[in-house]
Homo-oligomer: A and B are copies of this chain.
Amino acid sequence: MRRHRIQLINPNTSQAMTETMAHTARTIASSRVEIDAVCPKEGVPSIEGHFDEAVATLGILQQIREGEDRGVNGHIIACFGDPGLLAARELAKGPVLGIAEAAMHVASMVATRFSIVTTLPRTVIIARHLLHRYGFYEQCAAVHAIDLPVLSLEDGSGLAQQKVREYCLNAKHNDNVGAIILGCGGMADLAAELSEELQMPVIDGVGAAVTLLESLLNLGITTSKWGDLDFPRNKGITGPYAACLNTPSS
């Protein structure tokens, strides 16, 4: 049986978060899958708004290009806002999944409604927009923000983890939902333990994306190149993105 190489792109520059997510991804991936965990050398240390997403997209597209050149078979954008998702789908030959969409797809298969627990309040609007874009808006009861920045998940104090747990417990008892989605890649390592403690699905998008991407690879289905996700037309790009198109994919 064919082996797959999946590129896990952490769009921020945090090496610690990349490792947290890579560990989760490797725990979930089947034995026939190899995980390449990467993050950009330059960019933003964490993604907490639309500006941060724009910065991150630059790194994501460069990693997509380099990954494709290295022969990876598919890509994961491991930030809960799914930044640059459609641009990455245009650029890549292999399938591309965001961790937010992956978590939402999985939640909708095991519960009639779910809540999301995320980091800063300013990211809530990003989750809302994705829920609308993907069609899961009516299935989401609430998006809760613990009001701590993303990197607090890596500060070693455990405070952020404690708040995530509290918000999940509250959501379980007040939101009338059957599942909870962890709204940040940096929470990937909490899903198993919280699922066990709460006795309900607490879903991490990194694991969800790894296994859904395997699904697409097993099906032999990749981003459609018929229509609006076709490869970008190369019209003579200049500047930092130019390298993305200099190895024609089609």
Contacts and interface: CB of A to CB of B under 8 A. Distances in A.
Interface of A: 1, 13, 28, 30-32, 40-46, 48-55, 57-59, 61, 84, 86-87, 89-91, 95, 97, 101, 105-106, 108-113, 121-125, 129, 132-139, 149, 151, 172, 176-179, 192, 195, 198-201, 203, 207-208, 211-212, 214-216, 218-230, 232-233, 235-242, 244
Copies of this chain in the oligomer: 6
Given A112-B125, A227-B111, A208 B200 contact: no
Contact of A219 (B87, B106, B235): B106
A242 to B, nearest CB: 8
B30 A218 contact: yes
A216 B106 contact: yes
Nearest to A52: B232
Given A50-B84, A89-B110, 11 more contacts: A44-B235, A49-B228, A49-B230, A50-B87, A51-B232, A110-B221, A111-B229, A135-B136, A135-B139, A192-B220, A200-B224
B42 A224 contact: no
